[in-house]
């Protein structure tokens, strides 16, 4: 298949691109590099031993999308749509930017797919759509809601696509609800490269281990969890990328218009457990202090991934220790992320 990958230069997109190529698919990347460095593309080309087709534009640009979909020499068979802004705190400060980018991209893309009769779409959703009071393990049939504009863009995008498949029943859409993706490509050449100080725990830990940040602030030790710190379902980005290939394959061979799958390990790991795992992986002590809870955080989040296992034959295979080892390899090889 020729697969259009929006956001293909980003963290999850770049790992998925490598797996698509390894599986024999052709890949066309659209990324506006709002949160990626162009040097990612050189790394991907080296790892894949082939040149890549990359278009640098905003997915909301209908004229550029039309030109891409209309190219008779390179017809698009399916789309994996990663492109979005993803920082929760920034979304509270700049809600309109988030709604414009995250909804505008999906609308323009879905409309272009309909114009050019492209029927298969895999969409990056998030466990954030389960809101703040969902029971664990979280199942796909739970109601959706959100606590911040970023989360609402995922809930709204899901609704847009649910409505689209009703009106256009030939569409085949997968909504993939990721839990907490971490880790890096085993080569150490591709990984997560947050701009500025990381918001998320794993890249923050990696920078503390490196000595770039003096210590970790643990946001609360008074949750009703194994040790009082927040519990999350971490999954290796390589397992997550494999989930996209499985979902793409499934929607290409089944007739259900809309599918929703959790992609998680089904295991909860606390902040303090992850600190210990990272210490083992890096051989370094991680200084930390307990501080107040972060507003908006929930105590515990982990998936029931059994639907994806049953239908897709997909499950995670890498452990939390693997995730830390691979993150550390990437971080050590690239202490300042990708070169500019
Ligand atoms: P990322 O920021 O690394 O990748 C997104 C890519 O999309 C970036 O390369 C960025 O430059 C590009 N982009 C953003 N808006 C664009 C636009 N309008 N047009 C073209 N390119 C655009 O993020 P990621 O971690 O790889 O996340 C990928 C997707 O998965 C996002 O939709 C995100 O919301 C979702 N997701 C991420 C996580 C996570 O923890 N990383 C969890 C759940 C869901
Ligand atoms: C994990 C745990 C923190 C940083 C976020 C988004 C979510 C999804 C994934 C996209 C929590 C604790 C963190 C730190 C800490 N993204 N923590 N000190 O909050 O589960 O999910 O990323 O869809 O929408 O909200 O991930 O990595 O930020 O936090 O103690 O410096 O680590 O309180 O318990 P989170 P995270």
Q: Which of 10, 271, 286, 288 to mutate to test the pocket of ligand 2 (most atoms within 8 A of CB)?
A: 271
Q: What spacing in Å lies between the alpha carbon of 239 and ligand 2's midpoint?
A: 19
Q: What is the full DSSP assignment across 215-236?
A: -EEEE-S-SSSSSSS-EE-EEE
Q: Mean pLDDT throughout 264-293? A: 98
Query: What is the predicted pLDDT for the residue at 116?
Result: 98
Atom of ligand 2 nearest to the CA of 204: 31
13, 82 contact by CB (below 8 A): yes
Q: What spacing in Å lies between the alpha carbon of 136 and ligand 2's midpoint?
A: 17
Atom of ligand 1 nearest to the CA of 150: 34
HEC readout, 65-112: HHHHHCCCCCCCCEEEECCCCCCHHHHHHCHHHHHHHHHHHHHHHHHH
Digit-coded pLDDT (tens) for 226-263: 999 999 999 999 999 999 999 999 999 999 999 999 99
3-state helix, strand, coil in the chain (%, to 5): 40, 20, 40
Query: What is the predicted pLDDT for the residue at 225?
Result: 98
Q: Alpha-carbon distance 293 to 303, whole Å?
A: 22
Q: What spacing in Å lies between the alpha carbon of 252 and ligand 2's midpoint?
A: 33
pTM: 0.99
Digit-coded pLDDT (tens) for 184-227: 999 999 999 999 999 999 999 999 999 999 999 999 999 999 99
Q: What spacing in Å lies between the alpha carbon of 201 and ligand 2's midpoint?
A: 6
Q: Atom 25 in ligand 2: which residue has the minimum CA distance?
A: 88
Q: Could you confirm whether 302 is annotated as catalytic?
A: no
Digit-coded pLDDT (tens) for 79-131: 999 999 999 999 999 999 999 999 999 999 999 999 999 999 999 999 999 99
Q: Atom 13 in ligand 2: which residue has the minimum CA distance?
A: 201
Digit-coded pLDDT (tens) for 36-93: 999 999 999 999 999 999 999 999 999 999 999 999 999 999 999 999 999 999 999 9
Q: Mean pLDDT throughout 272-299? A: 97
Indicate whether residue 33 lines ligand 1 (CB < 6 A).
yes
Q: Alpha-carbon distance 121 to 110, whole Å?
A: 9
Q: Atom 17 in ligand 2: which residue has the minimum CA distance?
A: 201
Nearest listed ligand to the Cα of residue 34: 1
Query: What is the predicted pLDDT for the residue at 311?
Result: 98
Query: What is the predicted pLDDT for the residue at 262?
Result: 99
Q: Alpha-carbon distance 99 to 321, whole Å?
A: 36
In which order are the strands placed within the sheet that holds 78-81? 53-55, 26-30, 2-6, 78-81, 120-126, 172-178, 258-263
């Amino acid at each position: 298949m020729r697969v259009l990958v929006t956001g293909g230069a980003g963290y999850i997109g770049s790992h998925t691109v490598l797996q698509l190529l390894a599986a024999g698919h052709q890949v066309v990347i659209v990324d506006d590099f709002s949160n990626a460095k162009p040097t990612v593309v050189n790394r991907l080309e080296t790892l894949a031993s082939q040149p890549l087709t990359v278009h640098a534009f905003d997915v909301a640009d209908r004229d550029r999308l039309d030109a891409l979909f209309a190219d008779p020499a390179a017809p698009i068979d399916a789309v994996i749509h990663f492109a979005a802004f993803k920082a929760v705190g920034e979304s509270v400060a700049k809600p309109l930017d988030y709604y414009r980018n995250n909804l505008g991209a999906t609308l323009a893309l879905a409309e272009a797919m309909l114009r050019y009769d492209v029927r298969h779409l895999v969409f990056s959703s998030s466990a954030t759509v389960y809101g703040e009071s969902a029971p664990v393990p979280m199942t796909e049939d739970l109601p959706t809601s959100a606590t911040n504009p970023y989360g609402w863009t995922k809930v709204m995008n899901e609704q847009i696509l649910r409505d689209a498949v009703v009106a256009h029943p030939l569409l085949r859409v997968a909504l993939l609800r990721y839990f907490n993706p971490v880790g890096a490509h085993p080569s150490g050449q591709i990984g997560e490269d947050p701009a500025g100080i990381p918001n998320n725990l794993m890249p923050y830990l990696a920078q503390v281990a490196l000595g770039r940040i003096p210590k970790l602030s643990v946001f609360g030790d008074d949750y009703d969890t194994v040790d009082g710190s927040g519990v999350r379902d971490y999954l290796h980005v390589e397992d997550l990328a494999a989930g996209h290939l499985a979902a793409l394959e499934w929607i290409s061979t089944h007739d259900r218009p809309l599918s929703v799958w959790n992609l998680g390990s089904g295991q909860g790991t606390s902040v303090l457990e992850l600190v210990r795992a990272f210490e083992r992986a890096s051989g370094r002590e991680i200084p930390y202090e307990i501080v107040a809870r972060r507003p908006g955080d929930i105590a515990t989040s982990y998936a029931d991934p059994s639907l994806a296992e049953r239908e897709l034959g997909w499950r995670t295979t890498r452990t939390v220790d693997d995730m830390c080892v691979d993150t550390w390899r990437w971080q050590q090889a690239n202490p300042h992320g990708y070169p500019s």
